[in-house]
Chains A and B, each alone.
Chain A
Amino acid sequence: MTEEVILQVKDLKTYFHTDEGIVKAVDGVSFDLHKGETLGIVGESGSGKSVTNLSIINMIPNPPGRIAGGEVLFGGQDLVKLPIGELRKIRGNKISMIFQDPMTSLNPFLRISTQMIETIVLHQGLDKKAAKAKAIEMLKLAGIPAPEKRIDQYPHQFSGGMRQRVMIAMSLSCNPEILIADEPTSALDVTIQAQILDIIRDLTARLGTAVILITHSLGVVAGMCDTLCVMYAGRIVERGETAEVFGEPKHPYTQGLIKSVPRLDKASGDRLFSIRGQPPNVIDLPDCCPFYPRCDKAMDVCKRKYPATKDTGNRHAVACWLYTEAK
């Protein structure tokens, strides 16, 4: 991780217009991604993790979705305003994505070779033969045995873990600057998850790729990420270096989240801490702290106004009325 910022997300807002009202799926998200950094975005379902990342590469289905404001600065360009032709040169090339379910992101009718070669020819300008060699090399790096044979197989001939390896090989085949991984291991078993996380860690370190890792698992974040953003109801409530946030969580939501995960290294016995209530309905959210009905430390001001994000020092920022800006 270096100081060089390669992606800057500024006050990003993505709204969905539905019959019931406006869903502010992402409502003012800002963060920087540095070269070679692995950034984790954690949050529960519906907190806006995936929409944030789809918005970065402008893949929000419109209608019903719409990027309502903000900037995504990458390589001197604002991706939000970029025409589709220019965007396509970036997607899959400089910024690539892997998703939770590798079966739905691979075309079941095409051989792996066809799908991989297409990407490489398109973005790297190699001829087919060189592209195939490159594809085989990537599959090998991703830990697929006998890649020269398996490249001519179809997706259904691979297991779930193997498919995710194919996705990783494919997404890294154009040496992207950023890899966005949306719950890459959530559909996989724990022993396969360990294999896949290992490969992502090794390969991106070797290629110098920055990673945005979206996950609901605090355990995965703890082992993978340099920095971390915690999302709740469409906003980042806390961000900072992983060790710092885990060591000294500031937002009551982050504190509750960390305490409510059962841990392997702690014997059972005591009752598990649990955050009371339900996550909020994100339709027509009022402009107050969305966590206050579940918060043990809620104050009057929390019901009136959304707290600004305050830098509390040590690169640690939190959006909560309990804290003031560090001088």
Chain B
Amino acid sequence: MANNMGGNDTLLDVQDLKMHFPMGRKGLIGGKHQYVYAVDGVSFTIKKGETLGLVGESGCGKSTTARAIAQLYKPTSGVVNLNGRDLTKLKAKELHAARKGMQMVFQDPYASLNPRMTSGDIIAEPMKIYSRKGLLAISKKEMDERVEQLMERVGLSRFFRNRYPHEFSGGQRQRIGIARALALRPELMLCDEAVSALDVSIQAQILNLFKDLQDEFGLTYLFIAHDLAVIQYISTRVAVMYLGIIAEISGSADLYKKPLHPYTQALLSAAPIPDPGIEKDRKRIILTGDVPSPDKERVGCYFYDRCWKRMDKCKESRPQLKEAEPGHEVACFLYHD
């Protein structure tokens, strides 16, 4: 179980994380409170230097999980241990200091960069904030040097430092976002769909950049994407999310070779492969229906409505995430009670 793996090489330990967003009451007065159960009990650990891929369809809670880890949302309940400190219990000032080790890269390189700041200022901003608060000792000259080093490192010429975001292409903007995230030399990077908005040829460049940076700086990634092939390429371990819970988690090779959860199996069979020879003979598991809305409290397995292997007991109780094979956990009654 995830909870028992609090060894020294564990960087992030998330236990039973829940994020419920209130939606007001049902009825006018005295009605029951309504919630969106965006993340509904997620546990996993990430070791130092590892990449955990988080994959799932829209609305399954991938991004909310990352934001709740970064404490951008205050989680409803649960524990987020970064280097052994529970971020959910820290005071604002302590949290600020702890966040230095954890940075985010976002999906939309158009929306996540301030259009009125130059690329150099954008990359320097985290350093300025932390040095102003006395959490980072850095001189102006060192800061300028680091900005230039970072720009060169992510594949941007340092002569671009006085240009504004609109002067860059989408791929270059994502490089600025990555340089900004690296500025404070974090241990953990939370990458939320960081390559999803990019064209194929640029996506490959940025994926390679993420891998190189990991080797060079020993970074640890929580890498969120909806593209299964991207997740397979970048991840050492993979967690599949569905409606706010983890359906399956295992080593990357294992999960893709032998998916256990019916949802993972359907997801893998639905993803197209760019090879007409293979596509022609492929058997697909086509799921019926849509992902249900996460605004209802539910009993039983969350995947019950769409599952093609459902049994009677799946309707009544919810399977827990348990080890089915060594290092391979799945939340499904087909493999355990």
What residues of chain A have their CB less than 8 Å away from a CB belonging to chain B?
A: 44-45, 159-162, 189-195, 198, 216-223, 242-243, 246-247, 256-258, 260-265, 267-268, 271-276, 278-279
Q: Give bound CA distance, A301 to B119, whole Å.
A: 37
Contact, CB under 8 Å: B290 / A161: yes
Give the distance to chain A from B165, nearest Cβ to Cβ, in Å: 15
User: How many A-B contacts if CB must be within 8 Å?
Assistant: 139
Contact, CB under 8 Å: B208 / A271: yes
Contact, CB under 8 Å: A260 / B57: no
Are A218 and B274 CB-contacts (below 8 A) given A261-B229, A278-B172, A279-B169?
Answer: yes
Q: Which residues of B contact A271 (CB under 8 A)?
A: 208, 211
Contact, CB under 8 Å: B205 / A274: yes
Q: Give bound CA distance, A257 to B200, whole Å.
A: 7
Q: Which residues of A contact B228 (CB under 8 A)?
A: 190, 264
Main secondary structure on B side of the interface with A: helix
Contact, CB under 8 Å: B273 / A219: yes
Q: Give bound CA distance, A162 to B288, whole Å.
A: 12
Give the distance to chain B from A125, nearest Cβ to Cβ, in Å: 36
- Which of A191, A260, A267, A278 has the most chain B CB atoms closer than 10 A to its own CB? A191
Contact, CB under 8 Å: B276 / A278: no
- Residues of B218-274 at the interface with A, using a CB-CB cut-off of 8 Å, are 226-230, 232-235, 252-253, 256, 266-274
The range of chain B's interface size is: 35 or more
Q: Which residues of B contact A273 (CB under 8 A)?
A: 204
Q: Give bound CA distance, A273 to B279, whole Å.
A: 22
Contact, CB under 8 Å: B199 / A44: yes
Say if the beta carbon of B171 comes within 8 Å of chain A.
yes
| 8 cross-chain pairs, A with B, having the tightest CB-CB distances, nearest first | A219-B272, A274-B204, A218-B274, A260-B204, A44-B199, A223-B279, A194-B270, A189-B57
Say if the beta carbon of B278 comes within 8 Å of chain A.
yes
Say if the beta carbon of B139 comes within 8 Å of chain A.
no
Q: Which residues of B contact A268 (CB under 8 A)?
A: 232-235, 252
Of A45, A257, A264, the contact of B232 (CB 8 Å cutoff)? A264
Say if the beta carbon of B90 comes within 8 Å of chain A.
no
Chain A: CB-nearest residue to B266: A191
Q: Which residues of B contact A243 (CB under 8 A)?
A: 276-277
B267-300: contact bitstring with A at CB < 8 Å (1 yes, 0 no)? 1111111111111101010110011000000000
Chain B: CB-nearest residue to A228: B276
Of B208, B234, B235, B278, the contact of A265 (CB 8 Å cutoff)? B278
